[in-house]
Amino acid sequence: MEFYTKLRDKDRALDDKIQLIRTNTHFIPNLHEMVVDFLVTELSQHPDIPTLWQMLRSSLDAHPITANIIRLVKKSNLINPISVVFKQNNEDALENVARILDLTIGHYNKDSVLNSYSIYLNSATYPPINDIFIRFIRLNKFNKKSLSGFVLENIDKFITNYSFTSLLITQTDTIRSIQWASDMDDFLIYHLTQHYDKDLIEHFIRTSTSHHLISSLLQLNQSKAVPLSEDLLQHLTHQSIELRSPTILNALWTIEPDHMFAHIDASIRIGLADDVDRILQEKLLFTIITVYSDTRSLPTLTESLISALSSNKHIHMHSTIDYALMNAYQIYTTSEQVEQLCNYFGDRLRGTYGIEPSIKKRKSEGNGKSVINPDVSFTATAAIAELFFMALPKLLTSVTAGVGDDLRTQVQKLAEDISPQYTISDASKEYRSVRLMRCLAINQIITLPQVFNAMIDAFEAAAKNDDDSLASEYAQMAFFTLSHKVVDGDVARRFLDVSTSVALHSSKVGEKVLGCVVRHLYVLEHYARDEHLDAFIEFICRGEDIYTSSQAVAVEEILTSALFWELSRFRSRLTTHVESTLKSGDQRIQAHTLTLLLRFPRGSYTSKFVRNLAIDTAIALESVAEKVSTYITLRRLLLALIGDNAKVGAKNEEYAVYLATSSTWNTSGDEKALNELNKVSIQLLDMLARPIIRTDCAQLFKKLHKKFDKGVLSMMAASCVLEVYLAHHKPSQESEKSATMTTTTTTTTKDDNKYVYKLTQAMVNKLCSELVYHTTVANISALVSCLRMSMIRGGGAVDAKCLDIAKSVTLTRVHSTTPNAQVDSATSVLHFLSAGLVRNVEQIDVAAASWCIYHERASTEMKSVIGRGLAEVVVMFLGDNNNNDVDVVGNLWEVFHSHIREPTSPLLAALDGLRVVVKSCREGGNGRFIRRRLSGLLIDLANAAAVYKHLPTTLGGIIELLESIVHERAILLQSTDVGSILIALTNAVSASKGTVENEADSAKAQALYDRVNSTLLQLIRLRRDICASHAPSLALLLSGLIGLPLTLRPNLGGGAIRAHLAHRPSWLPSEMALNPKSLTRLLEGLTTKTVPLTTQHQQQVTSNSLKEAFARHAYIVLHTFARSATSPHSFYPQSTRHSLMAGLYALCECVDLHKEQEFMLSGITDDGARSVVKVLWKDYDEQRYVGLS
């Protein structure tokens, strides 16, 4: 009573009361109800204090909610303080309020809950609270008037949840009362799809102004096979033309093409207008072309298109529509229409060109006014005629030989009548004439036109007037003629004089003409003077920063053509130019030329002399370079020129020493540029040192040791050289060499080793002091290289000294507040390696623990960097056959395995660590090490999957480890191991009742589902021999997998929702529709023949499938599908059912080997499920017979 009196003392401060509760509730029992009474009372007066909410949450979580607690909650009307928190958007209290609301929401007045939810929607944003309200509203019935008011007031706040919103609208019948905004169209389509109502659809079609909504509703109406009334059709046609809507017109042309034939001209004008969305226009025109193609009425469409294009000179068709119309002419033009269209285009082109009187003009639809504009009539006709003549060569094969010859003669006469005038006074007409002539020539319908001075003059005049289209057409026609016809040399050279000057000029005309030149380089090779070639070479040698994007592409194409094709003149002059500039002595010119060499395509021809000259020049220029970008360019060039042909020589050795001691290793500046420079420098130094170390490296290491003593050798460069040495001098190789060497060779090797070990010792001594202050990746990696050297020689004191350094660095990194994944990874390698070399088991455990810390704090993108460090350690120790070394990895395995056997944190890091060890052991080729430990691990993983199946992240780590084992070490699996894997996967997909750690994520759920399916599929493919004996377990797992793509039916009550959730894992969102494509591939894998892996080399293995072994169990999976398909609370969406069909047919194929009648009758008592099976079997028989035919 004293405690209660103190709590009710009005003179006592609130903080004192809070401290009193915290002090006494741990020691005095039965104070729970008093505390709750006090807290709810105080919260009614002070809802803005987060501490009170936190204490109330802790109290409710720690004790069961009794009747007295419920009475206190109701009495205090706690929903009102909760609403105040929402209104104030008190982020500090939202998490605790969410938990309290979840525990108590069922004990409030329903109208007050709706009011609180309305306040929440208008103030706060915290998804868990939103889910609590939605779940409560779904599971309870409300007064229709109150719920309607709530919907009308707040629909724009929760409309993103389509199924919930649809449920509320269905219950309240407020669909006609809501003010539908434009961003609600998608929901309205969803709702009407789920609850089809013809009158509602017509209502929205007539009242809505949203083009997208009207179009979607028309498509929905068509999917239900409901025809549109004549009155509604007239209304829609008038509305779409008045609103200039290609979206509605596209839907009408798709649904009612017969009605729309009368409105073809208006539809095409809207499809070609400038003020309408281009993508929507293309869809409309493509639909119209499709309709007229299907009815074989392309001549009518041609007239409409020409009429529309002639009515306005500013409209034109886009390239995609040009291509579609050309294809339509090519495929859907009848043999009778070929001659008709040829005559039509001939008469119209002549009439509009001015040779003959114009043909009778076409009238528009409604009025009697002409829509032909004389100024643009020819260009419009020529644009469509060009598409028809592109299709004409194929069309001529559909007519008789005599008709084909007559048509060719007719077109040749037409080309002569409307040939270009080579004057730019009427540029648009001339452009179309030239373009049409070139089209006819390219398609070999007419003879090639001549290239003469008038054409060249017209081309030059068009270029001066900056008419890029006309100049480009002239250039293309001239180049095409020069490449296919012998032309007088003087005329050709005059044209090249003009075209070269135009192409090399920086303008839009120049870029287009340059593109023409690139496509016809062999014309330059044959006709051009040396001056022309030199002009292009000078243009190529300009700096990259001077080019426009199109010029840069053209230069790359010219280089590729010159260096790979048979362009001997061009290549010869290019090589001569490169050689002369490299010898010029001008550093600026030499740098430009070297940059040009770097742009040479990989594998292109370069003479040995020029390559050596370029290498010498690059090395000389590097000594005077100042910018980081210059160093990167020069070293990239050296890397490309030297390539894999690096040889032993004094010059290469001298440059390797220079590169290792270069000041660029310690340059300050932009971090990204410096990282790129160091990367290129390491690659170059590695390539130079490799041949030297393979032969005689004594002099190289002697020089490097002297440079290191002087302090000019970079630690990163020294580490790189040591890594190259280690790659060619492994411990096993050293022992083999020492047993077979002659006396001379032994002396030489000792000299090599002497300087190598001197350099190593000097690096260790320096790093012991530097690593204390400069914990960088370069320094740590250098010390790791020194330790690996000690694995060859035997480290002794060096190893112990390095272990002390590793302990110090690890301690610093573990407590660092600025995580760096690359430094952490290098630190873990150093600690593992030093501890392993001195056989210190305790420090191996410490290194494993620190690696787990690094892994836990690394971001998702950088976890792979941490994993690569561990993989490097495993490969180091498993590469040697020394059993003591293998125990290092064994201890590491045991540390990680212990976290799974007796689950402790950090479990995710332990799972990822084991995955890295499994993969690295495969690379090391040590299968016996894994085999001894695999069975116990798989048993523990199966148990862990059952315990943690309610934690999606942890479960994902378990599945990822299983996937790695199956993919990397399937050959080691035994029958018990396969059983453990199937149990683990079954536990992962089974229903879970635990609390989810976070809100389930759709993308992660789909990825986890696909990973389970791919793991099982790989297991079946690789170990089909073992899986055959586990067919019952496999059928049970497949039954669980085939039920997961089910989707919750809309508008269900609470009981149905709970029944649906009772059969689903917690990592799968309740309303998510999984994509079953991976499951379909898995089911098809049952009938796919494979050759299983085997360890018996003499055993004969045949290709087979699981079809026969699975025949007696496949019906279990099909029955599960049938029962799921007839579930009252869930269903397979149409897309899901369609994707599953191939896999279901594979199951039917398995059953077909057994007894079909037994399958049809056994295990199914529900008539609906039986009908599903019968329909499935009928479809299976039909597709099987079609396949056989």
- The residue whose two tokens read 């790359």 is 556
**Cβ(304)–Cβ(380) below 8 Å:** no
**Cβ(1038)–Cβ(1080) below 8 Å:** no
Q: Give pLDDT tens digits for 111-160.
A: 999 999 999 998 877 888 888 888 888 888 888 889 999 999 988 888 88
**Cβ(405)–Cβ(342) below 8 Å:** no
Confidence at residue 304, expressed as pLDDT on a 0 to 100 scale:
92
Angle at 689 between CA 683 and CA 695, to 5 degrees: 150
For residue 619 the two structure tokens come to 């090395």
From the CB of residue 186, how many other CB atoms can be counted at a distance below 10 Å?
Answer: 14
- How far apart CA 691 and CA 697 sit, in angstroms, is 9
3-state secondary structure 89-144: CCHHHHHHHHHHHHHHHHHCCHHHHHHHHHHHHHHCCCHHHHHHHHHHHHHCCCCH
Confidence at residue 556, expressed as pLDDT on a 0 to 100 scale:
81
Confidence at residue 27, expressed as pLDDT on a 0 to 100 scale:
44
**Cβ(1143)–Cβ(1079) below 8 Å:** yes
Instruction: Please state the rounded mean pLDDT for residues 1170-1180.
Output: 85
- Confidence band, pLDDT 50/70/90 cuts, at residue 747: very low
Q: Give pLDDT tens digits for 320-369.
A: 899 999 999 999 999 899 999 999 999 988 888 877 644 444 444 444 44
Least confident of 163-177, 336-350, 529-543, 916-930: 916-930
- How far apart CA 104 and CA 70 sit, in angstroms, is 8
Give which of 404, 467, 414 is closest to 439, Cα–Cα.
Answer: 414
Query: Does 1044 score more than 50 pLDDT?
Result: yes
For residue 860 the two structure tokens come to 């998702």
Confidence at residue 1160, expressed as pLDDT on a 0 to 100 scale:
57
3-state DSSP assignment of residue 763: helix
Angle at 847 between CA 842 and CA 853, to 5 degrees: 130
Give which of 716, 726, 719 is closest to 662, Cα–Cα.
Answer: 716
Which residues are registered as beta bridge partners of 1047? Answer: 1131
For residue 766 the two structure tokens come to 């320096």
Residue type, 847: A
Confidence at residue 982, expressed as pLDDT on a 0 to 100 scale:
95
Confidence at residue 58, expressed as pLDDT on a 0 to 100 scale:
84
Angle at 263 between CA 257 and CA 264, to 5 degrees: 80
Sequence-ordered list of residues with C-beta below 8 angstroms from that of 1145, at least 6 positions apart, any chain: 1179, 1180, 1183, 1184
3-state secondary structure 485-500: CCCCHHHHHHHHHHHH
- How far apart CA 57 and CA 103 sit, in angstroms, is 9
- Confidence band, pLDDT 50/70/90 cuts, at residue 283: very high
Rounded to 5 degrees, φ, ψ at 1162 are: -85, 140
Question: What's the predicted TM-score (pTM) here?
Answer: 0.65
3-state DSSP assignment of residue 31: coil
For residue 1056 the two structure tokens come to 């149905």
**Cβ(244)–Cβ(276) below 8 Å:** yes
Instruction: State how far the alpha carbon of 990 is from the alpha carbons of 631, 1034, 1037, 1080, 1157, in Å.
Output: 59, 14, 9, 19, 31
Angle at 739 between CA 734 and CA 744, to 5 degrees: 90
- How far apart CA 477 and CA 1109 sit, in angstroms, is 69
Which helix (H) or strand (E) is 1047 found in, with range?
Answer: strand 1047-1048
Instruction: State how far the alpha carbon of 85 is from the alpha carbons of 43, 78, 122, 195, 826, in Å.
Output: 10, 11, 12, 38, 49
Angle at 512 between CA 511 and CA 516, to 5 degrees: 115
Round the average pLDDT of the chain to a whole number and report it. 83
DSSP state of 448: P
Q: Give pLDDT tens digits for 832-867.
A: 888 888 888 888 889 999 999 999 999 888 899 999
Give the side-chain half-sphere CA count within 13 A for 505. 16
How would you class 851 by CB atoms within 10 Å of its CB: exposed for 0-12, middle for 13-18, buried for 19 or more? buried
